[in-house]
Amino acid sequence: MVKKYPSWVLLAFSFALAILAHGVFLYQWTQGQYMAGINDGLSQMMPFKHLLYEQYTNGEFFYSFDFGLGAGTFSELAYYFSTSIVFLLTIPFVWFLEMTGLIDAPDVLFWANAAVFISALRMSLVLFITARVFIYTKIPYWPSLIGASVYAISGMYFRHTVYWEFFADAFLWLPLLVLGTEKILREQKPGWFLLAVSISFFDNFYFAYINFLLVGIYILFRLFIPLTDAEKDRKKKIITFLTAGVIGFGIGAVSFIPAVYAYLNNHRPPFQQDIPIFEPIDNILYSSRYIILPALFVLFLFTFRFYRNKTFRLFALIGIAGVLMHLSPLVSSIFNGFSAPQYRWEYFISFAAGGAIASGLGMLSKMSQRGFFITAALTGFIYAIYALLDPAFEFDWVETGLVIVSLLATTTAVWAALHFSENMGPKIIGGVLIVWLIVFANFYQSEKILEMGDVWEVNKELITGEDYDDPEINRLLEEIHARENDGMYRIEWMQGVRNNTPIVQDFQGLSAYSSILNQNLLYFYLYDLEIDMQRESVSRYATLGNRANLFSLVRGKYIIRSTDDTNIPYGFTEILASENYLVYENENVLPFARGATEVYQEDKLTMHPPLAREHAMLNGIVLDTEEEGSPIQVTGDITSKFTIEEKMARYEDGVLEVTGETGGIDLVWADPTDGPGDLYVSFKLVNTAADEGFDLSVNDYVTSRKSNDSVYKTYVDDLTLRVPSQEKVRIRLPEGRYFLTELQLFEEDYEALNREAAETSGVQDLKIDGSKVEILYDNDQRDEYLSAVIPYELGWSATVNGVKTDVLKANYAFVGVPIEEGENRIIFSYRPPFFVPSLITSILAIFIGIFWVFRRKSARQ
């Protein structure tokens, strides 16, 4: 008779294993180093936690003007933490600690400190849930915990947690989906599957997609490998799966639908590189970054007698299928939404390996001495093949030695177990495996993450220092805030390439970095205004290319620059200084809301240069409308006044051959205009070298461009760069061959900006409260429309003097409404796209789900 243990015993062992598995990171925490990636960990994960915690504890759940130029955080950050159940459960606990004075107000440093403890608790739950799933499938108690350890204590868990923390939550929901599947197949009980589907849809739309593909594979195998006599009616089971899936979708709709809309409203250039069906081997036995298969799993795969057991056969075949799928970039592309291949689903292989090992441990008595030697020989042969045929394989005394020691120890343990009692054998092997898993997990943390991933640099000194949250900058920010009232203003400052610096340092900035951003803002930067961000990359926007008109239009009032940076936009004057930085103030900031009579048609402006589009926004309002609109005047075109001189290069018919280390062309203006002003230089630039990024400089302005084979390339090659007006424009590139075409130059004298800045604002009162903006506007100029510096996205509604009106997309990426003569009280309100119908759907689905589950229960009774 199999001894049963209470759940708290399993939970206690799970917690102990999780603590041991986090040994390196727990030690690093005592040394002031944190479990967070130096790149996305510090640039996205920690800032988003900080932002959302502040929002949620202040009662704002939907929108923030602190995220870039403004964004619907509930939907756009659903990919990260806004609907993450683990994060949502963390918030009240942290809030309690804050309210009781046990901790200060949480900041980015707090969330970095807390990361290792949240991870250990999450792993404890993964171990507990997975072990309970294996126990439910009739696998003995302790083998189930060992199999769960193979799944939870894996390199991919730590990789996910450190670099993209919310990825690790998927480890929780996959075993719940498997449990739900088994409950339907074995007992015709859909409750657990319904719960798991609902949680998955609510928690994260991206991993819901991945986990549903994975559980679909599991269900497919299960339909052809029945484990009980109650699984004969496949059609009925499929109908139950589909019904539970539809109801579960309905329950999770309140989160899932707004999140999917945000994903569809994002803009990311399509992946243009070839995706092979198979690629050279990823060495999953020795050195893979994603998954290292335990030697015991490989050994059991070649124990052919085990396949007579249906449970082992199920997990073994799924594991083999997973390994074959891992070798296909096409499969990884499918799991990433048919985009660039990303290896994020391989935890499924660990789950299958855990199931195979757990079920195999209970069948050691079926292994004969002769069978053992055959199995060991085949296992050794496979390890030799992986070492010999992998062109990238290099013997490493630590990493390779650890694998070989594991192979020898596992083989020896299995041989020894054959000579012990039936009860002792699995314990010996399981003990060896647990030790290896913990040792390897800590090795992975030390070598693969801390060293190779530079995570050892993530410490308190970094997070509170000049490379992340610079105290010198914070002092300048305090002085800026002290000069201001409660009005809306923005500051251009970004630490290095960390676009979410404004979230970290608690100011309203002009940059953002997220896998999902407002498409209208991305188009505004990339296509409509061709704003250079000084660094080509997807999923980001930053800076305004030193273009004064744009600064004034979006209320960019201050810029912070290093003392040696003299390339300052027009109209900015120095007001503050520190040892290494200067603060400049914009003298021509335009109001948050502006009236307009002149209406320009967006489509017609596409035929004109970006400077003409800037003037249209200054002189009136640009609408995405079919109305005729005001005539468009293009001024300042001085292309014909420049002559071209080659410098260490040959330029002919749009082809630029740079022959020196750097070179290019000079655009020479023989008779430049006196007085202040800027030049806008527009051209199309394509690098013919596929694998080389490069820097482009135009006079003192420098920007970087990605290589053609980079997955982060925008493929936006139409550039418009602003430089101070001068007689010579120097375009410089590194040695190579380029297509440089559509060259144009425009002079900007800022007459339109100065005129608009001198106008009296009609804004009498402005109140911004998260997802609600209230404007009192005196329309004494009889303007027809009002535009406001609120990024346009589906979800905004508006009333003018109490009457509901349509929200228009104005000035390419912002909101506008028709207004009346005289006083106008305009109220903009935001709710996530389709939030109300999604909420109603979720509420109805909960009742339908409860009714359906209890009706089926009554029918069985």
User: 329-362, pLDDT tens digit by residue?
Assistant: 999 999 998 888 889 999 999 999 999 999 999 8
What pLDDT, on the 0 to 100 scale, is given for residue 1?
42
pLDDT exceeds cutoff 70 at 2: no
User: pLDDT tens digits, residue range 121-174?
Assistant: 999 999 999 999 999 999 999 999 999 999 999 999 999 999 999 999 999 999
Residue 861 has pLDDT above 70, yes or no: no
Contact 794, 808 (CB under 8 A): no
Mean of per-residue pLDDT scores for the chain: 93
Question: Pick from 338, 14, 248, 305: which is nearest to 145 by CA?
Answer: 14
pLDDT in tens, 536-550: 989 999 999 999 999
Give the up-direction half-sphere exposure of residue 119: CA atoms within 13 A in the CB hemisphere. Answer: 34
Q: Which residues, 6+ apart, have CB-to-CB distance to 514 below 8 Å?
A: 44, 48, 67, 76, 77, 79, 80, 500, 539
Sorted by where each begins, the domain ranges of the chain are 7-265+277-455, 489-526+537-587, 596-634+760-830
How are beta strands 772-779 and 822-830 bridged, if at all? Answer: antiparallel
Are 178 and 170 within 8 A, CB to CB? no
Q: Are 749 and 556 in contact (CB under 8 A)?
A: no
Residue that the structure tokens 């009579």 belong to: 597
Per-residue confidence at 367, pLDDT binned at 50, 70, 90? Answer: confident
Identify any residues that bridge with 622 across adjacent strands, giving them in sequence order.
600
pLDDT category at 206 given cuts 50, 70, 90 is very high
Q: Convert the pLDDT of each residue in 668-718 to its tens digit.
A: 988 777 777 899 999 999 999 877 889 999 999 999 999 988 888 899 999
How far apart CA 218 and CA 210 sit, in angstroms, is: 13
pLDDT (tens digit, 9 = 90+) per residue, 239-250?
999 999 999 999
Do 174 and 214 meet the contact criterion of CB atoms below 8 Å apart?
yes
What share of the chain in percent tops pLDDT 90? 82
Phi, psi of 684 (to 5 degrees): -110, 130
Residue 717 neighbours by CB under 8 Å, 6+ apart: 684, 685, 686
Please write the tens of the pLDDT for every residue from 590-636: 999 999 999 999 999 999 999 999 999 999 999 998 777 788 888 88
Spell out the alpha helix ranges (H) of 723-800.
751-758
Alpha carbon distance 31, 808 (integer Å): 54
Give the pLDDT score at 421: 65
For 485-500, what is the mean pLDDT?
91
Residue 181 pLDDT greater than 50, yes or no = yes
Return the sign of the alpha-carbon dihedral for residues 520, 523, 528, 529: positive
Question: Quick one: CA dihedral 400, 406, 408, 409, positive or negative?
Answer: positive
Q: 808-810 and 701-705 as β-strands: parallel, antiparallel, unpaired? A: unpaired
Residue indicated by tokens 């809301």: 593
Report angle CA 518, 603, 570 to the nearest 5 degrees: 70
The Cα 429–Cα 413 span in angstroms is: 5
DSSP letters for 693-743 = -EEEEETTEEEEE--TT-TT-----EEEEEEE--SEEEEEEEEEEEEEEEE
- Sheet with 772-779: strands ordered across: 763-769, 772-779, 822-830, 796-800, 803-805
What distance in Å separates the CA atoms of residue 614 and residue 567, rounded to the nearest whole number? 20
380 exposure class (CB count in 10 Å sphere: 0-12, 13-18, 19+): middle
CA distance 537 to 522: 11
**Which tens digit of pLDDT belongs to each residue from 451-480?**
999 999 999 999 999 999 999 999 999 999
Global pTM value: 0.93
Q: Is 458 left (phi over 0), alpha (psi -120 to 50) or beta?
A: beta
Backbone angles phi, psi at 763, to 5 degrees: -75, 115
Nearest CA among 696, 677, 576 for reference residue 636 = 677
Residues 545-571, mean pLDDT to the nearest whole number: 95
Q: Can you give the length of the chain in residues?
A: 861
365 has a pLDDT exceeding 90:
no
Pairing of strands 556-562, 512-513: unpaired
